[in-house]
Amino acid sequence: MPSLGFPARCPARPWPSAERGGVGGGAGGVARPPRGSCRRSPRPLGEEAKLRRRRRGRVRRGRGLWEGGARRTSPALARATREPRGSPVPHLAIRSALLPRARLLLSPPVSASSLHPGCIHRHPSASKSERWCAGPQGASSSGPRLGLGGGTGGSMDTKRCFANRFDDYQGSLLAGQCEEAVAPLVTATIERILQELPPLGGGPEGRGAAAAASSCQWGLYGGVAGVAYMLYHVSQSPLFAGARERYLRLAKRLIDACARAEEWGEPDADTRAAFLLGGAGVYAVATLVYHALGRPDYVQPLGKFRALCAVCAPVSFLECGSDELFVGRAGYLCAALVLKQKLAQEVLTPAQIKSICQAILDSGKQYAMKKRKPFPLMYSYYGTEYLGAAHGLSSILQMLLSYHEHLKPSDQELVWQSVDFLMEQEQNCNWPPELGEAIERENELVHWCHGAPGIAYLFAKAYLVSKKPQYLDTCIRCGELTWQKGLLKKGPGICHGVAGSAYVFLLLYRLTGNSKYIYRAQRFAEFLFTEEFKAGSRVLESIYSLYEGFSGTVCFLIDLLQPNQAEFPLFSVFV
């Protein structure tokens, strides 16, 4: 059966079972995430932490999912992700018009030691020396690298990307990528994603919830909450109106399990207010799903989200860096922006918004003065001055621009000076991962997390707020580089994969109305199904992940069918 490129090798990498010494599999809990992904593992529990957890197990008595925490023995958790499988996936024949070179990805397994991610997404509780995902300087030198291929023209096959051999736009879109062809493919892919989800526990004494929390399997970036968001996103598309209720019920089961796990995680500020790696994202998606189902109790997860404002208000509430997108204040503001857009109401008070924005500004001023920077605002994450969307300056400035009306005129001027400073750091249509680096053209990062495809969103927001053409011109240059080097070898995902590159074209279409960008997004969608991509892309550690796996790719394919509403998941500039 055709599907969205699920490799046949995936079943050969089973989640560890209790019999083999793991914590996953059946009734005992949930498997730990494999090494090599961008998810971070919490540090091992010390004796004091274990004692605190045992004490909480004796004294905590929950009154319900949103009213004080989960009970130690929770049958609801065991049922949370249990979905009847009586409906077989229909046999689908991809019509000849759809993605002419579509193929299943059947490449052989790749050793985890050979993987060299281009971004660092570390859980705040990890020690500074722990790096599962190393960037261009932190990558391990052991293990084979993907070699150079034989590219032609201006875009050559490199270690990080495939050569783009597609002809550019000639005045007409591809004929086959229509609703009738793509929708069945999306449906089949969703069913496969649901099959690949790890079990979320339900063992005796509620160990499944604790294991889920300890392995960070519940977050938006690489966990089950990201799948819940994908199902919510699909349910909101008119193209899938017939499956809306089913997808929302599935999303509720998943996000309820994530909320249980969040309640049983370590009560550290590290993750409580984190957007993509912690509680803020879980509560935000729970609010969206409950609201879409018409449930009045959506205000309960929303209340939990609002309460986290006090956690991230102190200027230095995280030792690793308090302002970036994944775990910091920018992420919290981003989640609030998503809720504002989807609920059509502001979820934070003006005083709360001003408090968070002021903390971001004060933090950036203090760091810039301490490091004697010649520009007004700068930030670091684990001691590194990142520039990109994942952990860097660009997404922090993007969130400040999203709430510019809450800033004082003098602070607005500091933000615009910083935006212009970042624009000056451009090197051949791209930006280095961190400040002061020189880009190595043969090995440059062209990812959403690090590089032009993510920084483009800052300049898109700057253009929408100011209407100054230089910001739009910068976005367009980002798009040109992405067209040349955006067919990435790191998989189909949105963080550092092909779908994330293609979202830049959908962004540019909404900014310019130029159909060329829809065509380019179509070509990148087509490439996901080619034998070249199958043979040269890396093995997926998390099939279902929103940011690295196929959940994000499903979001992209749906947005490709409705480009006038398309936006990078949970990262909109049109609010």
Predicted confidence at residue 395, as pLDDT, reads: 99
Q: Cβ atoms within 10 A of the Cβ of 321, count?
A: 23
Measured in degrees and rounded to the nearest 5, phi and psi for residue 509 equal -65, -45
Residue type for 298, please?
Y
Largest interatomic CA distance in the chain? 68
Distance, in Å, from the CA atom of 290 to the CA atom of 279, rounded to the nearest integer, reads 16
Q: Confirm if 432 and 440 have CB atoms less than 8 A apart.
A: no
Distance, in Å, from the CA atom of 388 to the CA atom of 391, rounded to the nearest integer, reads 6
- pLDDT (tens digit, 9 = 90+) per residue, 184-217? 999 999 999 999 887 765 433 334 444 444 444 7
Q: Where are the beta strands (DSSP E) in 333-457?
A: none
- pLDDT (tens digit, 9 = 90+) per residue, 430-449? 999 999 999 988 889 999 99
Predicted confidence at residue 83, as pLDDT, reads: 39
**Among residues 290, 294, 395, 297, which one has the least CA distance to residue 337?**
395
What are the tokens at 246? 């089913």
Say which CATH topology domain 179-196+214-561 has.
Glycosyltransferase (1.50.10)
**Among residues 133, 194, 95, which one has the least CA distance to residue 382?**
133
Q: Which residue has the higher pLDDT, 6 or 246?
A: 246
**Among residues 396, 487, 449, which one has the least CA distance to residue 568?**
449
Q: Confirm if 97 and 181 have CB atoms less than 8 A apart.
A: yes
**What's the gap between Cα 184 and its chain centre?**
24
- pLDDT (tens digit, 9 = 90+) per residue, 100-133? 333 333 333 333 333 333 444 555 545 433 333 3
Planar angle of CA 447, 433, 566, nearest 5 degrees? 30
Q: Cβ atoms within 10 A of the Cβ of 410, count?
A: 8
Partner residues linked to 24 by β-bridges: 17
Share of the chain above pLDDT 90, in %: 62
Q: Is 531 helix (H, G, I), strand (E, B) or coil?
A: helix
- pLDDT (tens digit, 9 = 90+) per residue, 504-516? 999 999 999 999 9
- Binding-site residue numbers are 449, 495-496
- Binding-site residue numbers for Zn(2+) are 449, 495-496
pTM for the full model? 0.77
Distance, in Å, from the CA atom of 292 to the CA atom of 284, rounded to the nearest integer, reads 12
Q: Confirm if 524 and 532 have CB atoms less than 8 A apart.
A: no
Predicted confidence at residue 218, as pLDDT, reads: 84
Predicted confidence (pLDDT) at residue 97 exceeds the cutoff of 50: no
The radius of gyration of the chain's CA atoms, rounded to the nearest angstrom, is: 22
**What's the gap between Cα 540 and its chain centre?**
15
**Among residues 553, 523, 490, 547, which one has the least CA distance to residue 192?**
553
Predicted confidence at residue 553, as pLDDT, reads: 97
3-state secondary structure 17-75: EHHHCCCECCCCCCCCCCCCCCCCCCCCCCHHHHHHHHHHHHHCCCCCCCCCCCCCCCH
Q: Confirm if 166 and 18 have CB atoms less than 8 A apart.
A: no
Q: Is 435 helix (H, G, I), strand (E, B) or coil?
A: coil
What is the mean predicted confidence (pLDDT) over 49-59? 42
Residue type for 422, please?
L
- pLDDT (tens digit, 9 = 90+) per residue, 525-551? 999 989 999 899 988 888 899 999 999
